[in-house]
Amino acid sequence: MLSARSLFQEILDNDESFRLFCSVAASGESQGGWENARIAALVPRSERDLASKITRHGADEDKHGRIFDALLKKRGLTPVPVPPDTDYTMLLERHGIGLAHHRLRSDRPLTVPEIVTYLAHSRVTEQRAAEQMELLHRHFADHPDLGRAVKTISHDEDNHLAYCQEELLRFAYAGHGHAIQRTLRECALAEIRIHRDVSLAVMARMGRILGWPKARTALLAAGIHAVYAYERAAGWRRMVTLRMPERRNALGGPAAPAPESA
């Protein structure tokens, strides 16, 4: 029976598919760490209290990248280059979602509208990350190799999502509500399209590595398209809703250490 657990177990059991999975994940997390570090450095004086939380966010992302690298090292594997069509973070940036990298490389402080753009982009992508890690946590929390890593990253992603919602609500109360909703909608609709494309690219490569028959590959592709159709029709709305989270000030303290040994 084809299920999320059996599918990921198959990827986990093969060294080459596991290398690709961890390499793609580590690259995206490390890129997120760099972006957050640059944003923290460019936060305007009026929002300096936010800088420490953005720094913590970036530290968590860097930690996640090290965790995936540690999982590879534990199996005696090295990372592989990330294929461009599977590079979720760079594809988002290339499509104008979030703050452009050339802007982050400058020394000019960010404006409040740019901070709002960053938070809206993060709120959407952290929704995806939290859901994906919750799925892995549900199925692999007790796994001897993955369990500790999955628990750590899932907890962090929940914190990131809570932090983004709390900060966006603060800006909404300060008069940025219309801009926030507009940006959230734009980000969500772009994200679901890019997530579909990246999912198709990753599954196609996994299929070639694992020797899946064409019928299975076609079934998985159909499932990815079905998820996109649902998200395009209504599912994107979960990414733009703002509710005060139960976890308040989720990034107000230091980052927890990484389980470097995975």
Classify residue 252: in a domain, yes or no.
no
User: Which CATH number belongs to the domain containing residue 86 in this structure?
Assistant: 1.20.1260.10
With cut-offs at 50, 70 and 90, classify the pLDDT of residue 255. low
Kindly tell me if the per-residue pLDDT of 233 is higher than 50: yes
Q: What pLDDT score does 257 carry? A: 56
Number of domains into which the chain is organized: 1
Q: Does the global pTM surpass 0.85?
A: yes
Query: How many angstroms separate the CA atoms of 4 and 248, rounded?
Result: 32
Classify residue 261: in a domain, yes or no.
no
With cut-offs at 50, 70 and 90, classify the pLDDT of residue 260. very low
As given in the structure block, the two tokens for residue 124 are 């959407």
Alpha helices in the chain (DSSP H): 4-13, 15-42, 48-74, 88-94, 101-104, 112-140, 147-171, 177-210, 214-233
Classify residue 246: in a domain, yes or no.
no
Classify residue 249: in a domain, yes or no.
no
- pLDDT tens-digit series, residues 51-66: 999 999 999 999 999 9
Domain that holds residue 67: 4-239
As given in the structure block, the two tokens for residue 159 are 């914190």
Classify residue 259: in a domain, yes or no.
no
Nearest of 1, 59, 7, 5 to residue 202 by alpha carbon: 7
